[in-house]
Structure 1
Amino acid sequence: MNADGSGGSGGPIGSIDDDLVSAHSFVVRALLELPTARAGGQAGVSGWAGYVTDAVTGERQGWRRPADIARFVERQLSRTAVPGSAGRVGGRRSVMAGPTLTEVVADMLAVLGARLPVAAPVLPEPNVTLERVTEKLAGLGNQAGTESAALGGRTLRAGRLDARVRFQLWAGSAPAVDSAVLTLHSDLLDDREQLRSAGFLRFNVADTPPAEEFDSLAAWRKTTSFDLLYEYRYAADDDADSLIARIEMTTDPEQAPSTAREHETITDGLVRWDDAEAPDLTLTGPATISRISALVFEPGPPLGGTVTVRRTDSSGAPPVVQPDLASFLAATGPAEVTEAPGVLFASIGPAGTSLTLGDWNVDTVPDEYVGFDRLLDPPIELVARSDRLSITYSGPGLDQTAVVYLRLTDKRAT
């Protein structure tokens, strides 16, 4: 690519608008109402009903038809829209956050550039450039599916480029440069499956003009062009600054500030620690804990303090101290283990999928979270209501600017 954003002999490359989506989350809870007996012996009608909650404001409304949910969402979104900004929310265009075209093209050319031959000492470097490119949709709304992450699943999105690239090779003679181009064609054909797994869905020869002689360099140059369809994928975080660890809900059957207002907090097995607070993560029975996961943003030195994982039951027996997490998971009955945060995360599992989320340390660089995940086999069984599993940090908050998400997954939620 040239510095002005053009590639090869083609025109300028169009750019992708890098505005991110302005995210506004809602939580819908559905309850199945069973039929009840009515006067006269007739059974009442069963059906689904529930609540829809605005995760931003905490306001909640009951619903009996899906249309009630739509009306509530529309009303809440209308309160945050910027007047006169058609198609925009919060003054920004509602598109999914994704890589820029420059980044995608650079990645694509890097894969192809790795297949160029080594240059002779006295000849110009071989290269691959972009002649043209057009963006294409991938699937429905650029959705490519989902993948498992440390704290559940996340949406995968994709984009496609319909492009033409040009390889330029050099040699000391016309037969030598012809041979180099033939070898390149053979290598690309042999690597067809590898290229497909790298995102090249179509790869066809478009043009291979005769070799040209350059007397001033005592060299010959030959180019060959390929038409290709390239698909790239990325994880969508919808411009979120954090995961939803808890939702503060407000029920107001009349209007604010009605005295009939009720407040409720939903947590669902997920806790968030930062340098301001580190609340305990506690689950009680009956439950079957099948997975433990962590998502960690640690920009500075390793986190200090300790983390204690403790299991108790109705027997009232004191927990038996274990040397490490593996021993704790293998133990039966009340047990506990205390480890440094980094040791515990490594014990949960090797560093896995990363996630870009927010800017907690305010350095203008999106925070990179590292995921840790462990499937518990056998799972931890909390049989009675008095059985308890907890994870506790030693201080009121982390000892530095950092963020940790921890999740204990009930088997029913996997």
Structure 2
Amino acid sequence: MLEAFKNHIENFFPELLDTHFIIACSGGLDSTALVELCHQANLKFSIAHCNFRLRGKASDGDEAFVRDYAQKIEKEVFVTQFDTLSYVHQQKVSVQMAARELRYAWFDQLLKENKGTYLLTAHHANDNLETFIINLSRGTGIDGLTGIPAKINDIRRPLLPFTRQELESFAQVEKMEWREDGSNADAKYLRNKIRLEIIPKLNELHPTFSDNFKNTLDYLKQTETIASAYFEKLKKDLFVDKGDKFEIEIKKLKELHPLSTYLHGLFRAYGFKEMDNLEVLLDGLSGKQLSSSTNVLVKNRDVLILTSNVESKLNTQEYLITEEEVPLNLPLNLKFSVVPERYNNTDNVIFVQKSTLKYPLTVRKWKTGDYFYPIGLNRKKKLSKFFKDEKVDVLSKEETWLLCSEGQIVWVIGMRADHRFIVEDTAQDIIKIEFT
């Protein structure tokens, strides 16, 4: 197996041949075999071990084993301990999810500290099959059936072509020692149940099931590559870039058949998984929206607007501006200056009569019921009606700030000033306000 591993590294992971990396090692068979293979291949690496303190003396035994093994092969070892159960209670996640989040956050920290260029994990062919079955049981598109990626960001998984049986045979030939985690035999965990009960049945159905599955996975990956390239081309045609958001014409989306398949391919990368809800949004009222963990889709008349999750943008805080200075913590850049004469207002520059301003001024988001007297109209108008007439979409409204004086709107910043603050006497001080 060593020769097959070395050839695999040379052909598919040449970046590992001349750089120092980190191997995540639990002390179990898989990760210990990966360490031994890299060691015998004369690669440059360190070892990282997490003690999750979940199994008492057994967890401490794993840590001691990894430390001793690293010393034996003369490799640097990084070890950390976590209070995993406290994290579970604080974050309200499962033990498995807590362990995953904790270890990958620590691994990321090690990489940022330049302890290694890449992180290697010991995921192998059996892990790929288990992941495939889990995703299949939950319902997924082709992207969920292509297995664990061999490379993603700084993570490398060079054991994916090899089965656990091959790793175990290698370990036995090399007379290796490793630690057994008793929880791996507990079928109450989904992945263990698949490993212990379902996969053996599949192997009984066909003696070459494992090899057949590898071939199927390769075909699916090739198909997914073609599909991804097609959807990227389609996005360029449908997603109109508006700077901090995209606009997608609903009519063009509805022309795609089968619609749910296209919606999945176009929007899955933005965290949207419920295609039924997405289809309903296409026929929903203007202003309706869907949120994922990373993005928001809003229907605005005949288009969908896609932007990053706006929860962080919905700022209800008010900012005060004194006559002496504009604070540095404003959510946008405003510049005030006294000028000798006025010019015509623009979207980003207005001129006001200084005597009409009552300090401190306020910068805030708009609220239901707000109204002002837009220059050019010279009569009262609700801000919601103004936005509608100006065809301002829902997300842009949420990002709009107001400059106010004693509760009165001086300026819908970046759009229109209020008539009540216009310069009528050029002999008095004039304030120029710029939005940059």
TM over 0.5: no
Question: TM-score scaled by structure 1?
Answer: 0.20
Question: Larger strand proportion, structure 1 or 2?
Answer: 1
Higher relative contact order (CA 8 A, sep 6+): 1
